[in-house]
Chains A and B, each alone.
Chain A
Amino acid sequence: MISMGLLFAGVLFVLGVAGLLARRNLLMILVSIEIMLNAAGVAFIAAGALWNQADGQVMFLFILATAAAEVAVGLALVLQVNHLHHTVDADAVRQMKD
């Protein structure tokens, strides 16, 4: 059961990695990062259930806070990119100065 939990977290994380590598839409890149953070949280919960410790759940709460802060800043950046380049294509922002 616990190894199933870790396996589940691993599959979710790998799917997030695949999406992150394959997609070029900035919104989908952020979605993939969310999937990966969620998978890391599931891994913490599975590990906490294995050792019968609440620490894993505390770590999940911290991951939740990090994900919320990350998505707020990331989406603001997406809005800014869309404002400047009129697209959400990640290739549009490959130059530092324009």
Chain B
Amino acid sequence: MPLLFALAAIIAIVATVLAISRSNVVHALLYLIVSLLATAVAIYALGAAYLAALEVIIYAGAIIVLFVFVTMMLNLGDAVQRQERAWQPGRGWIGPGVLAALLLGEFIWMVTEGGLGSQVHRVAPKAVGMLLMGEYVVGVELASMLLLAGIVAAYHLGYGLLPKQKAQQPTSETTEVGTK
């Protein structure tokens, strides 16, 4: 299992590095999907099978698909990609890279000095569900309210962008946004 975890973690990290450095947004999203799938494997190796499934379904399945939809809607031309490429290899990466590397070094030092335990406990999905619908039921309600607010805000912000004949039928649009 540690080998599985290490392999998945390395794949996820490499894919994330590639994702944040692509000039084409679609390529970045494809690498991000690979990263999220590898992260799901890593989560499974950490003993959380239920959340590994949710990682694939919600992150890779829903959130990234939303990104792909918006990228397709924006239909960014070659001009944007050329602009991105012009920004890419320059000194824009030095400052953030150094800061991020310092942060990472500090974190590695903290984790290795800490000497946390080494065995993995498996937590069954049932325990998660019992806790979610018992102790954390208020949090679940708050999360559903947050999602509702997100849907309403996204609909409100996107309302003016709809074509005219669609904008006059708000009911059908509401169901479309709701199912996302």
Q: Which residues of A contact B (CB under 8 A)?
A: 1-8, 10-12, 14-25, 27-28, 30-32, 34-35, 38, 41-42, 45-46, 48-58, 60-62, 64-73, 75-80, 82-83, 87-89
In the complex, the answer to whether A15 meets B123 with C-beta atoms within 8 Å is no
Selected from A3, A42, A72, the residue in CB contact (under 8 A) with B153 is: A72
Check B146 against A27 for contact (C-beta < 8 Å): no
Contacts of A3 in B (CB 8 A): 111-112, 114-116, 118
Interface size, B (range): 35 or more
- Shortest C-beta distance, A64 to chain B (Å), equals 5
User: Inside 8 A of B83's CB, which chain A residues have their CB?
Assistant: 89
Neighbouring A residues of B167 by C-beta, 8 Å: none
29 A-B Cβ contacts within 8 A?
A5-B42, A6-B111, A7-B111, A12-B13, A17-B96, A18-B20, A19-B19, A19-B21, A24-B92, A28-B25, A28-B28, A31-B29, A31-B67, A38-B59, A42-B42, A45-B43, A46-B46, A53-B123, A54-B123, A54-B130, A58-B131, A60-B51, A64-B54, A73-B153, A75-B66, A75-B70, A76-B157, A79-B157, A88-B74
- B149, A69: Cβ atoms under 8 Å? yes
CB-based nearest B residue for A52: B121
Q: B99 touching A21 by the CB < 8 A rule?
A: yes
Residues of B within 8 A of A78 (CB): 70, 74
In Å, the complex CA distance between A48 and B118 comes to 13
On chain A, the residues within 8 Å of B51 by CB distance are: 41, 45, 57, 60-61
Residues of B within 8 A of A14 (CB): 100-101, 103-104, 107
Which chain A residues lie closer than 8 Å to B25 at the CB level?
25, 27-28
Chain B residue at minimum C-beta to C-beta distance from A12: B16
Closest chain B CB from A68 CB (angstroms): 6
Instruction: Please give, as numbers and ranges, the residues of chain B lying within 8 Å of A87 by CB-CB distance.
Output: 80
Q: Assess the A79–B153 pair: CB atoms within 8 A.
A: no
Give the residues in chain A near B118, CB-CB below 8 Å: 1-3
* Contact code string B100-141 (vs A, CB < 8 Å = 1, else 0): 110110011001101111111101000110111000100100
Q: For B67, give its contact among A22, A30, A56 (CB under 8 Å).
A: A30
Partner of B154, one of A5, A17, A73: A73
